[in-house]
Amino acid sequence: MQTLSQLKPEVIWKHFEALCQIPRPSKHEKGVIEYLKDFAVRRGLAYKIDRVGNVLISKPATKGRENHPTVVLQSHMDMVPQKNSDVVHDFYKDPIRPYIDGEWVKAQGTTLGADNGIGVACALAVLESDNIQHGPIEALFTVDEETGMTGAFNLTEDFVSGKILLNLDSEDYGELFIGCAGGINTIATFEYKPEPVEPDHVAYQLRLVGLKGGHSGADIHLGRGNANKLLNRFLWNAEHFFGLRLCSIQGGNMRNAIPREAFAIVTVPAAFEEEFLSSVATFEQTYRDELKGVEENLSFTAVKTDKPAQCIDKETTGNLLDALYAIPNGVIRMIPEMPNVVETSTNLAIVQSNEQNNT
């Protein structure tokens, strides 16, 4: 089996493979900072680290290009830490396990971290090269891009000197970006009263898994399924037609990731158990038909489970499911002058119940 170190250009994949060994979720980039620091020391390059952890490594111009303008190569150190529900992985301790699948580099059961690990690796490759003719270079590596851009926001004016900046956080090879998207988080909280589960009910765990997910900005236009929206469609119908009671719900875990999986513990009257299970199979086929050619691995199942002691009160359940049903998801508007570019979109990223504070 081919390994990353055999891919070309070797120097880029060497650094990316090394980054995969360093845990680096947002706000936990210390290992990468040390890697960059050691790299600069070994190469004899000047470096500095600011108070929030941003790193700047400077490389002098090659002979005859000293008067050229300084170019800043910018990338970010952190990654989105997301995994499949059946995968045991601690993003704060465990390395990413990359592998090659045809023409793609993927990770085993987790996000790969190419956003923006491959950008970091490319900048390091330029710094390491002795064959590229260039003016002065400043490689800027920022922290916490994925959960607030606090690294970028805390940059001081004197940290970099270059007036030309190339951002290396791109998904499209060979294209230059002329603008940048912004994001706003909206958090809605429902408080509920726990109620005893009715004695004539049976309990099931609903599992909607196998979706592709993706980045809520870069992939929102691809028509991929949102696990929270799909699960809620079934919950809303089952609550109306079978008297379903919701006990707990969990879908998605990152604000900027399209949720790949969603789960719920529910109860239904035993008298409707057969119709309930038949409805699950019907909805699974409906989802498959709707997302044919996009979500070939979609799975929606109901597994019988122990009956919980309590469930969410009826009024709050109805309000929650109505709200989730009504919330828009996906592309809202394309840019009229650039019809292939999304202007506004929204992503129902996380839905979770919390028994500790009844929300």
Interior CA angle at 168 toward 146 and 111, to 5°? Answer: 45
Taking the C-alpha atoms of residue 43 and residue 86, their distance in angstroms, rounded to an integer, is: 42
Assigned token pair, 13:
């994949």
Taking the C-alpha atoms of residue 88 and residue 111, their distance in angstroms, rounded to an integer, is: 13
Please confirm, yes or no, whether 145 is among the known catalytic residues: yes
Q: Please tell me which residue in 29, 78, 239, 261 is annotated as part of the active site.
A: 78
CB of 346 closer than 8 Å to CB of 329: yes
Please confirm, yes or no, whether 295 is among the known catalytic residues: no
71: β partners: 137, 164
Q: Which residue has the tokens 């650039």?
A: 338
What SS3 class is residue 189? Answer: coil
Q: Please tell me which residue in 17, 29, 144, 145 is annotated as part of the active site.
A: 145
Environment class of 169 (CB within 10 Å of its CB; exposed 0-12, middle 13-18, buried 19+): middle
Instruction: Identify the CA nearest to 134 among candidates 91, 176, 164, 95.
Output: 164
Which residues form the catalytic set? 78, 145
